[in-house]
Amino acid sequence: MRKSWKRGVIKLKHHTYALYLASRDQRVPWPAKIIALLVVAYLLSPLDLIPDFIPVLGYLDDIVIVPLGIALAIRCIPADIWADCRRRAAGSLPSDLPHSRTAVIVIVAIWAGVLALTAATILRLLDDGATP
């Protein structure tokens, strides 16, 4: 069972790198590039929709959202280009996945915005409930 998990993680790593390569490929349509970048950003983001410390649900979003996102991105990429990206990823996968300071800043800004909007909404709701 441990070997099947290990194969699954390796496959996920290759698919993630192939999606990254596809997002930078000029032949891939823009909608597919955006989906691929969103999936890769979610995978690399330290923040989740449901935090991992919440029992069961914390990992459920990773188990469901990540494979669905990868499947959607793959369906949007033309088959011949996806095969080429997978071949390139398998042949040249670096030890570390590519990183970008700009991507980190964008991801952190998005999550900060979501947290700020959530906090503002909660404060507004609490304030409305406190006034007679």
Residue extents of the structural domains in the chain: 2-94, 100-132
Per-residue pLDDT at 4:
75
Query: Which residues have CB under 8 Å from 107's CB, separation 6+?
Result: 41, 44, 45, 47
Query: For residues 32 and 5, what is the distance between their CA atoms, to the nearest angstrom?
Result: 28
Per-residue pLDDT at 81:
94
Express each pLDDT in 89-115 by its tens digit. 888 765 555 567 787 788 888 989 999
Query: For residues 25 and 77, what is the distance between their CA atoms, to the nearest angstrom?
Result: 10
High-pLDDT (> 90) share of the chain, %: 22
Residue 17 reports pLDDT greater than 80: yes
Per-residue pLDDT at 93:
62
Q: What is the mean pLDDT of residues 47-69?
A: 76
